[in-house]
Amino acid sequence: MFPRFVQPKTSQVGSLFVSDFLRSYLTVGIFGLVGVALVGAFLGLGRLLRPNNPTAAKTEVYESGVDPVGDRWSQANIRYYIFALLFVMFDVEAVFIFPWAARLEVYEVFGLIEMAIFIFILLLGLLYAWRKGVLKWV
């Protein structure tokens, strides 16, 4: 009923299809630029209206009302880095699961078992991190 929503077959990959494909990403890019332009417009409008009178006290960073102490970029907890590493592992996996999920009907039981093994290995990884105490925030 909606021919334009039908998934393109591989045989349909001609110049027309590819050009539509690239054009849709051009639109995505334009939307990103519109977001940037909107911020620019707001700030530009503000520039016409707002005062500009920086003093030493104003440009000091806020530290609960007392003079800031020590280095401006303090050291951070290593935990954040470890969680970032864990995230990369799982995020890459999502790249593999998405195409499988959209085409599960085609691969049937074979695809299901394949993905079950994949997800099982991933869960083992999570379990390993869990046992190692990486998931504990201290």
Partner 1 sequence: MMSASLLLAELSYWQQTSIRVGAGLAAVLLVAGTLVYLHLFKLVSFMQSRLGPMEAGPFGSLQLLAEVGKFLQKEDIFPRKADRFVFAAAPFVVLMSTFLLVVVVPGGPDAWFVDSELGIYLAMAVSSVSVIGILMAGWGSASKYSLLGGLRATGQLIAYELPLILAVLGVVIQAETMNMQGIVMAQAEGEIFGFGGIGNPYLLTQFVAFGVFLIAMQAELTQTPFDMPIAESELVTGYMTEYSGMRFLLFFIGEFATAGVFSAIAAVLFLGGWYIPGIDPADNLMNILGPLVMVGKIVVLTFLIFWFRFTFPRFREDQLQRLAWKFLIPIALTNIVVTGILKVAF
Site for partner 1 in 49-78 (CB under 8 A): 49-54, 56, 58-64, 68, 72-74, 76-77
Residues 25-54 close enough to bind partner 1 by CB under 8 A: 25, 27-28, 30-32, 34-36, 38-40, 42-43, 45-47, 49-54
Please report how close the Cβ of residue 15 comes to partner 1 at its closest, in angstroms. Answer: 15
* Contacting residue, 98, 121, 124, 128, with partner 1 by CB under 8 A: 98
96: how many CB neighbours lie within 10 A of its CB? 12
Please report how close the Cβ of residue 117 comes to partner 1 at its closest, in angstroms. Answer: 11
Based on the number of CB atoms within 10 Å of its own CB, is 118 exposed (0-12), middle (13-18) or buried (19 or more)?
middle
**Angle value at C-alpha 28, between 24 and 33, nearest 5 degrees:** 140
Query: Among 94, 77, 82, which Cα is nearest to 135's?
Result: 82
Give how many residues touch partner 1 by CB under 8 A: 76
Rounded CA gap, 96 and 118, in Å? 10
Closer to partner 1 by CB, 14 or 54: give it. Answer: 54
